[in-house]
C-alpha cells in the first residue's frame, strides 16, 4: 500500500471516530449534533475522490456502523430526532453513491480521452515518419535507376544515394531515441566540464556558419548528479538550434551559473525568435517549422531534462532571439 493511501485511510478512520466521540460526549444539546452530522460528509467525499464508487461505499458502511449506536438509546429524545438521523443516513448514502459514481465515470471518460489522444498521436507520428522518409526514398530509387540504366555520373548518383540513406538513418535514430524509455546513469560530474565539452562539439558548425560561441563558464568545479553523456547531447542540441537560428556574424552565448539549490545552464541566441504558436508547441514530438529535421530534438531534450528531475524554460521574442534555461538540482 502506498504511503499516501495509508495516511488517507488513517485520517478517515481517526476523523470519523473523533466526530462520533463528540456526538456521544454531547448529550442533549441539539445544535452541535446538527453540525457534527454534516462533518461525516468529509470522509465520504475523500473516499469517493480517491477510491471511486467502491471506496465511497466502503467508507459509507464504516461511517454508518460507527454512527449507528447514536440512533438509539438516550440520545434519541423523540420520534423527530430518530427520523432526522435516519434521513441523515439515507442522504449521506445517496451522496456517497452519487459522488463515487460520477468520479468513476469522469475517470473512465478521461482514460478513454487519453487513449483516443494516444491513437491520434500514433497516426500523426506514422504520417510524419512516412512523409520524412518519402523524399530520400524517391532520391534513392531515382538515382539507383539511373545507375542501372547507365545514365549520368555514377559518382554523383552514389553520393546522392549515400546522403539520402544518411538522412533516413538520422530520422530513424531520432524516432528510436524518442521512443525508447530514458535510462540515466547518474553520478557526480562537474557540470562546467560537461557544458564545455558540449560547446567544443559545436565549434565546427559555428565556424561553418560564421557564428561566435561566447562561453561564460566558470573554472571552479561544481559536482552534481547527472548522466553526462545524455545531458551533453541535450545541450549540444540546444546550441545547434541556437546556431541555426542565428544570422551570420552573430553570437550565441552559453553560460553556467550556480545558485543555492540549482546549477543553471543558459543558451541564448540573437536570431529571429519564435512566434507564439512555435513556443507553445516546441516540446511536442514531430512539431517543426524547419525545412530539415524530424521535430524530435526538443522533445528528446525535455525527456533528458525531466529525467534529471530538472526544469527547462524557454523565453523567446520575435526579432530579439531566444534563451533556454535549464535548472539542475544540486542535491
Domain CATH number, residue 204: 3.30.565.10
Q: Is residue 200 part of a domain?
A: yes
Q: Among 81, 110, 139, identify where a domain stops.
A: 110
Task: Band the pLDDT of 194: cuts 50, 70, 90.
Answer: very high
Confidence of residue 280 (pLDDT cuts 50, 70, 90): confident
pLDDT digits (tens, 9 = 90+) for 28-74: 555 566 677 788 888 888 888 888 899 889 988 988 888 777 666 55
Q: How much is the pLDDT for 122?
A: 65
- Given pLDDT bands bounded at 50, 70 and 90, which one contains residue 224? very high
- From 266, 262, 259, select the one nearest 215 (Cα to Cα): 266
The answer to the question of residue 125 being in a domain is: no
Residue 192 falls within a domain, yes or no? yes
Same domain, 104 and 204: no
Q: What is the pLDDT of residue 161?
A: 85
Weakest mean pLDDT among 54-63, 124-133, 141-150, 309-318: 124-133
Do 98 and 228 reside in the same domain of the chain?
no
Judgement on whether residues 75 and 207 belong to the same structural domain of the protein: no
Nearest residue to 194 (alpha-carbon basis) of 283, 269, 263: 263
Structural domains counted in the chain: 2
Domain boundary among 75, 90, 110: 110
Does some domain include residue 127?
no
Q: How many whole angstroms separate alpha carbon 331 and alpha carbon 291?
A: 40
Of 22-26, 128-132, 311-315, which range is least confident? Answer: 128-132
- Judged on CB neighbours under 10 Å (0-12, 13-18, 19+), 95 is middle
47 assigned to some structural domain: yes
The pTM assigned to this predicted structure is 0.55
Cell of 275: 512566434
Query: Is 140 a member of any domain?
Result: no
Q: Residue 73 domain-assigned? A: yes
| pLDDT at site 252 | 94
pLDDT score at 289:
67
CB-side neighbour CA atoms (13 Å) of 243: 21
Which of these, 127, 114, 16, lies nearest to 65 by C-alpha position?
Answer: 16
pLDDT of res. 239: 93
Quote the domain boundaries for residue 197: 187-329
Mapped to the 3 state alphabet, what secondary structure does 65-107 carry? HHHHHHHCHHHCCCHHHHHHHHHHHHHHHHHHHHHHHHHHHHH
Domain boundary among 52, 86, 110: 110
91-102 pLDDT, tens digit each = 888 998 999 899
Is 180 a member of any domain?
no
Q: Please give the mean pLDDT across all residues of the chain.
A: 83
For the ranges 72-76, 112-116, 229-233, 274-278, the maximum mean pLDDT occurs at 229-233
> Do 193 and 103 fall into the same domain?
no
On whether both 69 and 200 belong to a single domain, the answer is no
Amino acid at each position: 500500500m502506498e504511503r499516501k493511501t495509508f495516511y488517507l485511510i488513517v485520517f478517515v478512520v481517526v476523523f470519523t471516530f473523533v466526530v462520533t466521540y463528540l456526538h456521544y460526549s454531547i448529550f442533549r444539546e441539539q445544535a452541535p449534533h446538527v453540525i457534527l452530522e454534516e462533518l461525516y460528509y468529509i470522509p465520504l467525499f475523500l473516499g469517493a475522490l480517491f477510491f471511486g464508487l467502491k471506496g465511497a461505499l466502503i467508507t459509507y458502511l464504516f461511517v454508518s456502523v460507527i454512527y449507528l449506536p447514536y440512533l438509539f438509546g438516550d440520545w434519541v429524545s423523540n420520534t423527530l430526532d430518530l427520523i432526522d438521523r435516519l434521513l441523515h443516513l439515507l442522504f449521506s448514502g445517496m451522496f456517497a453513491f452519487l459522488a463515487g459514481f460520477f468520479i468513476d465515470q469522469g475517470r473512465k471518460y478521461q482514460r478513454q480521452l487519453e487513449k483516443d489522444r494516444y491513437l491520434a498521436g500514433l497516426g500523426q507520428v506514422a504520417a510524419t515518419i512516412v512523409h520524412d522518409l518519402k523524399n530520400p526514398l524517391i532520391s534513392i530509387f531515382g538515382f539507383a535507376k539511373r545507375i542501372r540504366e547507365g545514365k549520368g555520373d555514377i559518382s554523383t548518383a552514389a553520393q546522392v544515394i549515400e546522403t539520402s540513406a544518411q538522412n533516413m538513418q538520422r530520422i530513424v535514430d531520432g524516432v528510436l531515441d524518442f521512443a525508447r524509455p530514458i535510462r540515466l546513469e547518474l553520478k557526480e560530474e562537474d557540470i562546467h566540464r560537461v557544458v564545455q565539452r558540449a560547446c567544443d562539439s559545436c565549434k565546427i558548425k559555428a565556424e561553418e556558419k560564421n557564428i561566435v560561441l561566447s562561453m561564460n563558464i566558470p573554472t571552479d568545479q561544481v559536482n552534481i548528479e547527472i548522466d553526462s553523456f545524455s545531458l551533453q547531447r541535450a545541450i549540444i542540441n540546444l546550441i545547434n538550434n541556437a546556431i541555426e537560428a542565428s544570422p551570420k556574424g552573430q553570437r550565441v552565448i552559453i553560460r553556467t551559473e550556480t545558485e543555492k539549490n540549482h546549477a543553471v545552464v543558459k543558451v541564448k541566441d540573437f536570431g529571429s525568435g519564435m512566434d507564439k504558436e512555435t513556443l507553445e508547441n516546441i516540446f511536442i514530438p514531430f512539431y517543426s517549422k524547419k525545412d530539415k529535421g524530424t521535430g524530435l530534438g526538443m522533445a528528446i531534450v525535455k525527456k533528458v531534462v525531466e529525467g534529471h528531475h530538472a526544469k527547462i524554460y524557454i523565453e523567446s521574442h520575435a526579432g530579439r532571439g531566444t534563451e533556454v534555461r535549464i535548472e539542475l538540482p544540486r542535491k
